[in-house]
Amino acid sequence: MLNNLTVQNGQKIHVTFDHCENVQVSKIQVTAPEDTPNTDGIHVTHTQDIKISDSVIGTGSFSVMYLYNYFSSFLIDLD
Cα angle 21, 3, 40 (rounded to 5 degrees) comes to 75
Beta-carbon neighbour count of residue 44 at 10 Å?
23
Say what the pTM is.
0.73
* Per-residue model confidence as pLDDT tens digits over 33-48: 878 777 778 888 888 8
Residue 74 pLDDT: 59
Give the H/E segment covering residue 51: strand 48-58
* Per-residue model confidence as pLDDT tens digits over 18-37: 899 899 999 988 888 878 77
What rounded mean pLDDT belongs to the chain?
79
- Tell me the percentage of the chain whose pLDDT exceeds 70: 77
**CB–CB of 47/73 below 8 Å?**
no
Strand partners, 21: 48
